[in-house]
Structure 1
Amino acid sequence: MKKIVELKGDDEKIQSYFRSEPSLCSNFDCLIEGSKRDRVSHFIFRVSCARSGKIQEYWIKGEKELLSFRLKSQENLFDALTTLLIDIRKCLNSLRLIESQRTFLEEIFVLLNTLKDKDSSVFLCTKRKTCSHFINVPWIFVHELVAFRRVSLHKGIAKIPCFCIYDLFVSLFEMIMRNGINQIKYFNVCFDEDDRLVQIRKNIISYFVDFSNPISNSKHKTSLSHKDVEKRFKEFPLCMLQLHLKLKGTGRLTHHERFRYSLFLKDSGMPLNESIRFWKRYYSEAPKCNQNGCQHMWKGSEGKKFEYGLRHLYGEEGKRISYSSHSCSSLQALRPQPQNCGGCPFLHLDNSQLSSLVSKNEKITQIQLEAILRASNDANPSLSCELYLAGSTHKHSYKRRQLLRSISYSSVEKRPRSSLMRKTFSSVHPHENSASSIKEMCLTCSSNVINPDASFLSPVVYYHLRVLNNNNNNKPKEYLIQNT
């Protein structure tokens, strides 16, 4: 499932992957469509993911892409439509369905049965890319296609072209999965009483946390004590530097700000006992301002609450799940209040505030600052952060020199990003012709840190990359090229 998600549903890449692993299906018959283990594993995942939103979304995405690959591997979709109708009829004949679920499945059954009778030729089509046929479906069944404007609408009816028929099946499949997950809470069976399901769920959570936050288990993970923070905070990404400066200035952070900063320090290498010492140092003193925020002191029962919260984040209390730090995408999606911080400064600060914050880093030159501001004004926070990372590594770092030398800061907003990235990447890999991104350049500073194609980029990753860059600043050029 992880591999299918990484391949982003690309049919050719998935087929190539299966060909390169001929023993895959023979050893794991859960991948064989329609097999008993295929069905059982699907529903075990459905039960296990019901309580975790992140794992649930990741699993649904993988199931959708696997279904899309299976459908496109068939000569026509008529057999798939017939099989789906048979399966839905079996479900409707079950006496264990609640009324809302039965109504939901009946609506889908009527829709598919009507399409089978009226538009069977569309499902038998074998030349979908050039076919001009289409079918009419109520928009509610293909809301994702409507959201991305891939179909035309008229009076609530979506006109689906022949080449989008696969997406109709995938959309219906997603609706059925989400409906089934929502119905799990109505079951009388307590899944926590089954030791097998409990263990499976723990394994899934552990596996998901491991690959969604690969820097946590990296051999390059640094150790961070509460005393080291004052020495290293300038190496933090701008979003976390902003939080630390606020903590130093006011002595307090709001609950959500403290939550995000604690997770960042945790995944940056700070153990639990050091985290307790770090927060106790600030919260044992009176706050330095009267702004709205946390006014509690680390003493008595309040101190125990703070300590319990930290132990909970480290997986020592409660459900004993070790939380992972926020990703860049989750921070960018935040909408902080005017007096709060903790989101992405490249999105949520105006030019004067951002300029003042970036200027606190003495390694950033005026030209680099202007390039960062231009990228921020273009609503490209990831590029802004990458430029900040490139400019703030050690001034003698070979990787920094290569990044800055290959970027024309005076023309960032005029030239397309792909050409900039192509020039950047080719400066270190002269034989690589494909376009790349600064993110890939940064992530390749150590081949064992994280996959350059990973979608879980986070402030922790940027922090470790800066530490690695600064630690490697005295390495010869040949060493750095060999390790990229």
Structure 2
Amino acid sequence: MTQCGKYLPLNSNSALGIDVLEERRKDQLGHFVLRLAFCRSEELRRRFIRAETTLFRIRFETDDSNERRAFLDSKDFNWISVGAEEKERYKEQLKHFISSKTDLDGAFQSEAFYKVKWTTIPDLVEKRKVFLKGGYAYVPAREQASIIYSAFEERLEAALRSYTSGFIAGIPSDWVASAEATGEGITADMVDSLAKQHFPLCMRVLHQSLRKDHHLKHFGRLHYGLFLKVLGLSIDEAIAFWRKSFAGGPGSDKKKNELSCQELPATPQCT
């Protein structure tokens, strides 16, 4: 929690003396850049989801109560509030999940319950913290957060998979059908025209920066090189592309002399 406050501050809307909009802008930019970086494989997606869920959990638990309620009201978590009649029908079963042991009847009357598909909260099912009936789990209000965290993970995973399909599938365009028919991939000379017409904005910006400065920072080269590899740029064509791109840039003579297959941009290792 201390580290979040130090490196990832996100104050409430009512905070005074804080540029809240700038905090949110940085937080959103960082999140979506990380989506691009971690969407490429199942292992990376799992690591990202675990980290983001932990961060979400910390922020949710420490958030202003009014803003937390506003957040819950703005989202559909697919839960069903258990009515008084249904609650009374399963009273004997539901009483086992009330935390108070002194005034059990009173605590039961004041406790709210929610129904969700049991498959959405396997953690509570495993720990036997819910009552199961007809494919539904009856969740006491004090365990409501588990539904929220599960929904967050599910939706983030779906978003990452949509990124993955766009990242790995390549660019659906005329040259794809042509390449499949001829058995040939893209060449270094084709990259400029493809970047203008078909690249996603993030990769187009990297390409334009490379063409303008004849240089990319380390991680920029890693990500752009991997993207070109996914599109089908062969090793020989990649060498030709990077040699041409570095020409005229800082240290270009050294880069041209040292560039080899082993130095081509590859998948970055996350630490």
TM-score by length of 1: 0.28
